[in-house]
Chain A
Amino acid sequence: MGYTDKLGNVRDTLRKPAVQSGLTFAVALIVVALVRNPYYVGILVFLGINVIITIGLSLLMGYAGQISLGQAAFYGIGAYTTGILTTRFGFPIYLSLPLAILFTVTIAFLVGVPTLRLKGHYLAMATLGLGEIVHIVFNELSSLTGGPSGFGSIPLIRIFSVKLDNDTRYYIFVWAIVALVLFIALNIVHSRIGRALKAIHKEERTAATLGVHTARLKQMIFAISAGFAGLAGFLYAHYVTFLSPGTFSLHFSILLVTMVAVGGIEHIWGAVIGTVVLTILPEYLRFFKDFDILIYGIILMAIMLLRPEGLYGIKIPIRRKGVHG
């Protein structure tokens, strides 16, 4: 076997979803072994939670060509559902998890089915409206949600006899789920559905002519992306153990879209890159205090104008020099 053949084999292996998500989990384990400071481990837990949401959003934006401006609402619905079920109604966590995801997906279907039948980007507006409505309900339905000040004492997750009560254990749990979500998403992308989705995105009319049921595929992907956000909400609720409406605002929905767009909407890994950059970056922007929003705006605008395909796949000049020299 020649050198290039071997290289080709390695590349093929690396392309497999199972390998990619396995490697992601391995890297995550190495990272946590290096990072000892619990504060930073905490940030990396949130990074994992954000990555779960943006992977879903990336499927929606890059592969279904639709945009959701209410992803924080699905995140919030997942979090509040499990929070309310476990604290107010004494549900065990293994029941509240599927119910939280199910409820999130149901809401997504209710919004997505009628809107995605329409041509164009009405979903953006419908989800924007849904996001505000959900935010208002979190604030006003005080008997269940505790109103603007929120509610706490959400139980910790226990897996068999291991209680996920420190940052490192929760980190491993979250990143195992990130690997699982990545595996599902990459499989969707590489499947027949994924190719059909790419076709929708590129040329919807042609795809429809070729027998792709465009509306139904878009609805399905939207429901999956909402399900991921609901799952992330579940992870958030049982990590922070306290919920208030502020976390699930329009601001966060827009930040999520920014992460995906900055990383690159054409590829799942773009979403991961964008999320890493925009979750870690604020730690270095502390001295800007509240003006981080202005920085996000500048970054997003600059990327859209200069490199609308995002950071993913950007060529680093050093490497190119190496090839030639």
Chain B
Amino acid sequence: MNTIWLAFLTGLTSGGFSCIAVQGGLLTSAVANIENKKDNRVAVSVFLVSKILSYTLLGFILGLIGSQLVLTPKVSAIFQIVIGLFLLATAGRILNLHPFFRYFVIQPPRFVYKFIKNQTKGKTLFAPIILGALTILMPCGITQAMMIVALGTASSIQSALIMFAFILGTSPVFFALGLSITKLIKYRAFNYISALVITVFAVIALNGAAGLWGSSHTLQNFWSVISGGTNTQIVRSANIAAGYQEATIYVDNNGYRSDTTTLKAGVPVRLKLITNNVFSCSRSFVIPSFNISKILPSSGEEIVEFTPNKPGRLAYSCSMGMYTGSFDVIN
């Protein structure tokens, strides 16, 4: 849910400015052919509604593609690393750190640009509708970054919501300020804000990758160490019944709570996962080192069985690596 809010705020702050730099000219051309001022406003509204709908659909498709691409938690982690690096390169491109970063951009085909340009010559409301929908073919840098984030969610609903929130956030800038905003983007501060926002997304993606990889080097763990959380943890070993270690994880909207901290190596584990009105990505539960991946019901119980075979840290997380947890496996 936080990602959706962040997407909205990104659109509202830097996304709108960036989008209007790329698409504002086409919109203005389309609207310029409509002489009545009232119709002009209607045309912009139609353009924006069409744009929001098409990007929401695009988000849905991206999430669908992402869900098909994710095979194992490790592959998903690699995917997140690629996303994180692309986002960092995008931030580097926006700041113009080096010409090399200019290659990290998704470029629409030239014929698409020509087709869109021809559409701007229409005088009816049909032109803004088509234009609004076709803007998905020429996304700005920040939109591209958001599309990559949406792809990485591997959830069509989450992905659609991210794109919806982002484009909704960009809309006030389009509607209220129009082309005059293009003067603002020449200010360096705009680039810094955009690059900062994209870097935040990159850090989220790379942190997610670390979580999915089962690494202890996640922001959550760093924070836990800094805030002294690990010092106050009580050691709770799993009960053993009928040859199985029994542990329970309570899955919340904001993460995981386990009744067990320590497991014994070589003894099979029966892990109960309990959900109660959970609608966040914590429902998509993974244990990377065992390639276990389970979509949990919003309310209910699921059992996962595995045998920890070596002592050390056994990490589990959601499929995006946002929510993490771990067991200590001992001999």
| A-B interaction | no
List B residues at the A interface (Cβ < 8 Å). Answer: none
